Chains A and B, each alone.
Chain A
Amino acid sequence: KQEVTQIPAALSVPEGENLVLNCSFTDSAIYNLQWFRQDPGKGLTSLLLIQSSQREQTSGRLNASLDKSSGRSTLYIAASQPGDSATYLCAVTNQAGTALIFGKGTTLSVSS
């Protein structure tokens, strides 16, 4: 059974810092991995989608990497801003493609 773990559960940094969020999964037979952002009480905003054949994806200040063999992904946020404060969730789709399996998220707080 696929399990997704995100470490740390919470992170506080000062504005301007570069930071890395971690995601690990137990079954490397994934179809893709997606990073989301969730603001309190709101829905999920898709940040980056990495297909299983890809190693990384970039969007603006965000860079996500994927190492399927080790069951790991990282989300790198450059020059963090207070507006980046949110919960970041990673989710994998198994090769069966049945559903997104989510981690519990990392809650990021960026102080000005």
Chain B
Amino acid sequence: KAGVTQTPRYLIKTRGQQVTLSCSPISGHRSVSWYQQTPGQGLQFLFEYFSETQRNKGNFPGRFSGRQFSNSRSEMNVSTLELGDSALYLCASSYSGNSYEQYFGPGTRLTVT
């Protein structure tokens, strides 16, 4: 079974730009969650999608948004990028949510200059 895939793996953007990251979950998994990892804050929850609906949301500004498609693939978008958005963005999939084992992708490394 293929694992969670994320594209692109690396991104360099300029302040003020926007960016879209993509995540393909494990086949059969319907829940996709996104996390931001920084050296200072560690891993922080952004949001979770299940069956194309945002089910939970972390404490991030509205510049961070996401969506999920009917095939469970998910995208997250960050608008008006700030230097502090530089981070490793990780996507996790599970069969049905956090009561099930979470499987993480390799992440997208975003650098904002």
Chain A residues proximal to chain B, CB less than 8 Å: 31-32, 34, 36, 41-46, 49, 89, 91, 93, 97-105
Contacts and interface: CB of A to CB of B under 8 A. Distances in A.
A99 B109 contact: no
B95 interface: no
Q: Specify the main secondary structure of chain B where it touches its partner.
A: strand
B62 interface: no
Interface of B: 4, 6, 33, 35, 42-43, 45, 48, 56, 58, 88, 90, 92, 97-99, 101-107, 109
Contacts of B98: 31-32, 93, 97-100
A78 B82 CA distance: 44
Given A44-B104, A89-B43, A97 B90 contact: no
Contacts of B106: 42-43
A32 B105 CA distance: 21
13 contacts: A31-B98, A43-B4, A46-B104, A49-B101, A93-B98, A93-B99, A97-B99, A99-B33, A99-B98, A100-B33, A100-B45, A100-B98, A103-B42
A99 B45 contact: yes
Contact of A44 (B56, B90, B97, B109): B90
B5 to A, nearest CB: 10
Contacts of A42: 106-107
B99 A31 contact: yes
A97 B97 CA distance: 8
A32 B94 CA distance: 14
Given A42-B106, A98-B56, A102-B43, 18 more contacts: A31-B99, A34-B101, A34-B102, A41-B88, A41-B109, A42-B107, A43-B4, A43-B6, A43-B104, A44-B90, A93-B99, A99-B45, A99-B48, A99-B56, A99-B98, A100-B43, A100-B98, A100-B102
